[in-house]
Amino acid sequence: MATDSWARAVDEQEAAADSISTLQIREKEDKAKPEENGTVKADVQGDGQVAKTEEEDKEDKAAQSLLNKLIRNNLVNTNNQVEVLQRDPNSPLYSVKSFEELRLKPQLLQGVYAMGFNRPSKIQENALPMMLAEPPQNLIAQSQSGTGKTAAFVLAMLSRVDPANKWPQALCVSPTYELALQTGKVIEQMGKFYPEVKLIYGIRGNKLDRGMKIQEQIVIGTPGTILDWCLKFKFIDPKKIKVFVLDEADVMIATQGHQDQSIRIQRMLPQNCQMLLFSATFEESVWNFAKRIVPDPNIIKLKREEETLDTIKQYYVSCCSKEEKFQALCNIYGAITIAQAMIFCHTRKTAGWLAGELSREGHQVALLSGEMAVEQRAAVIDRFRDGKEKVLVTTNVCARGIDVEQVSVVINFDLPVDKDGNPDNETYLHRIGRTGRFGKRGLAINMVDSKSSMNILNRIQEHFKKKIEKLDTDDLDEIEKIAN
């Protein structure tokens, strides 16, 4: 499967993009706004199926990653310890608590401070000294989105290149055109006071004249184009590359074609080229790929913040149909004050229907749906985060990995199940776990509408060994109690 349809879709999308000039990437002035400012449009297209093909799953991964970047404007809080495995366990382990200790070029330090960074993030404390060490060291780093990986490798690339040399010295590959643009923006921001260093986007839409040689010091793009630029068109001399960055390895490996292309690029680089690989997750497949790309690596891992149900009160409501579930929801809303709620549905169709009904009841509802572009989704989430809408109705796929901290109530309008119809405990935890964060108590309400969904609920209960209490939504006094 050298070129799957997703990779082709990316290529086509790239081909359609405007030609992009160095460091003058067009701002997304077309930043799409959601329908009616994120408020609900009840008629949802599609058949409402959530069963995903493998292709769609791959696309989801890239979209999810982009969404996270778009909605994130600061570091993720983490109390977990960084785990460091050094290539040479006898060499001292350096970690820094300030950017000054890194002896950065003054222009770069200025850029870092202008971005509002006061001190290195948890992962940067260890990663930056390794990435900037002489002689250069290879690194594989894994930590969840928003922990400062991009900022770290951008700083390394900007530090390593010599602006006096008019050829590419740093190469960064990203899984999609959009992800490459996001990283490019960080390079532009951080390199703001170092204008001698230039950047070029190695993406399909950027057509260069045959025979030319790229003069920019940093190239960022997708694996297919970068490979062509090195191998076929010889715009880049790979032997002169000093730093090679492979970003979002977990997304990259979802496409066999991208995996192969990345390995082929890596094989053209000189022995002493510094190889850096980043990933948000680290399953076996990512690890196997990482080892092929990065010889003799140092390894840094930062565990995800554990999600827990300990601080969550869980209830279930027994109904017979979706209409009854909606009525139960109205009763709950009538009895307790809910600052902000997220409601999860199994299909787009249900999500659209429910959002429409709630909106008719006078609620300020936002709908996050699969057919929205990533920018639209980011805008909806932003508005919800700002409190402009109080209810966010969504399907699971759209909401994966989103942190909306002020959510006080999570409602499973449909219980999470996997494609075989078994309880999806991980998704349950992930959905619910977000309500009781940062010492706050959360409330989770599950809607059950059949024998089989009751069975799912029981299995979830057993899995977590936590009781899910029954709630009678016809009894207002009882509902009021759950809010205390």
Ligand X SMILES: Nc1ncnc2c1ncn2[C@@H]1O[C@H](COP(=O)(O)OP(=O)(O)OP(=O)(O)O)[C@@H](O)[C@H]1O
Per CB under 6 A, residues contacting ligand X are 68-69, 72-75, 115, 117, 120-121, 124, 145-151
Please say which residue, 77 or 165, places its beta carbon nearer to ligand X: 77
Which C-beta is closer to ligand X: that of 115 or that of 339?
115
183 vs 446, beta carbon nearer ligand X: 183
Q: How far is the CB of 215 from ligand X (least distance, A)?
A: 27
Least distance between ligand X and beta carbon 214 (Å): 25
Between 96 and 468, name the residue whose CB sits nearer to ligand X: 96
DSSP H or E segment with residue 345: strand 341-345
The residue among 150 and 318 lying less far from ligand X, judged by its C-beta, is 150
Query: Whole-number minimum distance, CB 122 to ligand X, in Å?
Result: 9
Taking the C-alpha atoms of residue 302 and residue 80, their distance in angstroms, rounded to an integer, is 7
Question: Which lies closer to ligand X via its Cβ, residue 69 or residue 313?
Answer: 69
Q: Are 86 and 95 in contact (CB under 8 A)?
A: no
Mapped to the 3 state alphabet, what secondary structure does 354-407 carry?
HHHHHHHCCCCEEEECCCCCHHHHHHHHHHHHCCCCCEEEEEHHHHCCCCCCCC
Contacts for 183 with CB less than 8 Å, ≥ 6 apart: 150, 154, 172, 174, 220, 247
CB of 232 to ligand X, least distance (A): 30
Minimal distance in Å, beta carbon 278 to ligand X?
7
**Least spacing, CB of residue 113 vs ligand X, in Å:** 10
| Helix residue spans in 143-228 (DSSP H) | 149-160, 177-190, 223-227
Q: Is the peptide bond before 135 cis (omega within 30 degrees of 0)?
A: yes
Per DSSP, 230 falls in state I
| Angle made by CA atoms 195, 200, 204, in degrees to the nearest 5 | 160
**Cα–Cα distance, 123 to 186 (Å, whole number):** 17
| Cβ 120 to ligand X shortest distance, Å | 5
- Residue 90 near residue 279, CB atoms below 8 Å: no
Place of tokens 């790309």: 293
Q: Which is nearer to ligand X, 120 or 356 (CB)?
A: 120
